[in-house]
Amino acid sequence: MLALSRKLNESIIIGNDVEITILEIKGDQVKIGINAPKSVPIYRKEIYVQIQEANKEAADSTNSIDALKKLFQ
């Protein structure tokens, strides 16, 4: 993991087209702004994990349905 220190209104660049800017610092919270192409998905980590779990469950249930179909053929 790369750890960087940034002050208010300072930015970091990821690749050629993603910019992360520190917008506000209040106590233990930091507000960031992300400027990226619309084709780049951006999620909070807890939401990303939920999406991954839902996708895994959906894939597992699809495999179960296929197995049942084969069983009844």
Element holding 18 (H helix, E strand): strand 18-26
pTM, 2 dp: 0.70
Q: Where are the domains of the chain?
A: 1-38, 43-73
pLDDT at 64: 67
- Cβ atoms of 43 and 55 within 8 Å: the answer is no
pLDDT at 5: 94
pLDDT averaged over every residue in the chain = 90
pLDDT at 34: 98
Mean pLDDT of 11-22: 97
